[in-house]
């Protein structure tokens, strides 16, 4: 399992509270490939490498 760099990958983080450390990169693993979902007026971004989720 990938290390978590202090992030709980089961939690969904809010971009307003946790903006990207490096724009367009996962804060946890540094990956740049995401799966995106839109629903109820919200945009959810999930890292394909480690699974960290963030509402944008």
The pLDDT, as a whole number, for residue 5 is: 80
Neighbours of 1 (CB within 10 A): 6
Residue 33 is assigned to a structural domain of this protein: yes
Residue 46 is assigned to a structural domain of this protein: yes
Look at the alpha carbons of 7, 56, 20, 27 in this order and tell me if their dihedral is positive or negative: positive
Segment 1-56, tens digit of pLDDT = 445 688 999 999 999 999 999 999 999 999 999 999 998 889 999 999 999 999 99
Mode of pairing for the β-strands spanning 42-47 and 34-39: antiparallel
Instruction: Provide the residue range defining the domain that includes 48.
Output: 12-55
Residue 2 is assigned to a structural domain of this protein: no
Tell me the C-alpha distance between 47 and 56, whole Å.
13
Segment 5-20, tens digit of pLDDT = 889 999 999 999 999 9
pTM: 0.85
Residue 1 is assigned to a structural domain of this protein: no
User: Domains in the chain: how many in total?
Assistant: 1
Mode of pairing for the β-strands spanning 12-14 and 53-55: parallel
């Amino acid at each position: 399992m990938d290390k978590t760099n202090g992030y709980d990958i089961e939690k969904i983080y809010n971009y307003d509270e946790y903006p990207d450390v490096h724009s367009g990169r996962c804060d946890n693993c540094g990956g740049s490939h995401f799966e995106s979902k839109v629903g109820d007026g919200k945009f959810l971004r999930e890292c394909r490498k480690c699974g960290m989720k963030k509402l944008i």
